[in-house]
Amino acid sequence: MTIKKSKPNQKRLFAAIFLMFIVTFGMIQFAVVQSEEEIKVPLKTNDDVVEAYENALGDWAEIEAQSEFQKRIQIFDDPVTAPDIEFKNILDRDLTLGDFRGQWLVVNFWASWCPPCIVEMPTLQDLQDHYEGQNLKVVAIALDRNYTSDKLRGFMSKHSFGPIAAYYGHWPDIREKYDIPGLPTTYIISPDGKVMARYQGDADWNGAEAKMLIESLMIK
C-alpha cells in the first residue's frame, strides 16, 4: 500500500520537472534571440575609438597652433610707404617719423586711459633693450587729447615707463594718415619707410613670437 500511495507523487514530480524544463528552455531561447539582436547593433572597435580621438586631437591642435599673436598680426604682401606724421617728445621737440628713417621702427599708438596699453608698454621697452644696437627703434606715441609734455612725464614716472614712451601726438591728425581701429595699435616699418606689418591690440613684444616676426622681417 505504501508503494501504491507513492505513484501519484512521482507523477506530480515528473510533471513539475517537465514544466520547469519547458520554462527554462523558453528563457534560454529568449536570451539567445536578445543576444543576436544586440550583436546586430554596430559597436565601435578600439580602432574606431582611436581614430575618433586622433581626429579630435588633430582639430584641437590646429586651432591651438594659431596663437593670439598670429590672429592679430597683419603682414602686408605689398608694403606701402608709411605716411609721415608729426609728434613731440617730452622735451617738446618736434619730430616726424622721417627723423628715424634708416632703421627698423616699431611704432606703437597708445593712450593713458587704455589699460591694455599700460600692460604692454614694459614689453615694448624690453623689446628695445633686447635689440639695442641692432638698427631697431621703438617709438610709443600717446594719443591722449590735449596732452602735454608735463602730463606725459608725470604718467611715465607713475608707471615707471622707459624712454620709448616719451612721445605724444595729435590724435585727429594721426588718425587721418594711419588706420587705428583701437588702442593699442602697432606698426612695423622698414628702414626704407615701408609699412611691413600691423598689430591690433596688446601683445607681449618681448615674447618669442614677436621676436621671430621682427627677425624674419629684418632678413627679407
Span 101-136, pLDDT tens digits: 999 999 999 999 999 999 999 999 999 999 999 999
Encode pLDDT of 35-74 as tens digits. Answer: 333 333 333 334 444 454 345 445 444 445 679 999 999 9
Q: Using one digit for the tens of pLDDT, what is the confidence trace for 153-201?
A: 999 999 999 999 999 999 999 999 999 999 999 999 999 999 999 999 9
The pLDDT of residue 219: 86
The domain limits of the chain are 2-64, 69-218
Position 121 scores a pLDDT of: 98
- As a CATH number, domain 69-218 is 3.40.30.10
Tell me the pTM: 0.71
Q: How much is the pLDDT for 220? A: 73
Instruction: Output the pLDDT for position 183.
Output: 98
Which residue type, as a one-letter code, is found at position 199?
A: Y
